[in-house]
Amino acid sequence: MKKSGLFWVAITSLLLLTVVIMVTMNFPFNWVFYVTVLGQVSIIFMVYRVLTDDYQTSKTFEDFYEDNPIGNRPN
């Protein structure tokens, strides 16, 4: 089963949030160091997966923003 790009974004975010919590709780340096290195590798992998994800959308630049379409703008 292929994981979407957003799955890897969520995993990377949770991993780096774990680093912040570990630093705040004064975990041993070696734990923080290894999780930080793992987080950096995860960021590189996440960027690769997001950029190569087969994501299709029907939106174009004419659609502008979903919450403020161009047709609703005052002149």
Rounded to 5 degrees, what are φ and ψ at 69? -60, 155
pLDDT in tens, 32-59: 999 999 999 999 999 999 888 887 777 7
Give the residue from 35, 43, 33 showing the smallest Cα distance to 11: 43
**Which residues does 59 contact at the CB level (< 8 Å), separation at least 6?**
66
Q: How much is the pTM?
A: 0.69
**Domains of the chain, residue spans:** 5-69
3-class DSSP assignment, residue 66:
coil
Q: How confident is the model at residue 25 (pLDDT cuts 50, 70, 90)?
A: very high
